[in-house]
Amino acid sequence: MHLTEQSFLFDSLSSKAPNTARKVHIRRLYDIFQLCLHRSDIPRARRAWATLARCKEIKWLSMWTTAIYLVGEKHSAEEDIPRQLALLRELMLHNSADREAILQEMIFRLIMLERYREALDELELYLPSFPYQDNPVLHTYAGLLCFYIAQNFEDGQQTFHFNDGTLREARTHLERAAELEPDNVVAKSFLDKISRIQSGKSRTMMHHENQESDDDFHMNIENASEHVVPKRKRIRTTNNMGGDM
């Protein structure tokens, strides 16, 4: 099929036909940009995007996911993430309509960098306020981060124990996620894990308490026996000579 003068490969920018040479040029450049993306020709796509983003006709904030993609794919994935995070923080300030989705992308990349405490701090900053407090994905992230941070490893070994306070925070976030999204399999799965951990700790505490009670009981019995059983007294007798025996 031959393309006419006003035919375009991609129709995402506008459903209206361009009526000026400038708009035709922008639509052609947008086609080139999309073709480069589909062919993984990132250098050319980046150059086309740099021109498109400067055009007033292009609402590039609504295409922020594409911008994040173009920031990457240049170095290794780990080297790309700090640059993507910097752009996402800028977008949080200027794109109020998509802040929830942008925050999710930020948290995901912080986790990839193993900056778990920083990711949880970001969530705790936003989650108390609307609309973030009703976002099940953000609560799931917060619950999983609390669950991980609650694990205290000892001497770099595989053995660890859980911090009770942080584990309760994990349970609170995961319960909220399950409430907002009843089909949230991840939240329900980790809630079951937390329940088993907490019930196991309760049984261990009861065992220790019972053992301490038994020890106290035996100690009390031993102490009581010292008072109940009278000591044998020495019998003083005298012989016919008046001496003690």
* 245 residues of the chain, pLDDT tens digit each: 444 445 555 555 555 565 678 888 888 888 888 898 888 888 888 888 888 888 888 887 778 888 888 876 555 466 778 888 988 998 888 888 889 999 999 999 999 889 999 999 999 999 999 989 999 999 999 999 999 998 875 555 555 678 888 999 999 999 999 999 999 999 999 999 998 888 866 555 544 445 554 555 445 545 544 544 444 444 444 444 444 44
| DSSP string across 13-80 | S-SSPP-SHHHHHHHHHHHHHHHHHHTT-HHHHHHHHHHHTTSTT--GGGGHHHHHHHHSSSS-HHHH
pTM value? Answer: 0.68
First-to-last CA distance in the chain? 134
Annotated domain spans of the chain:
1-58, 64-114, 130-225
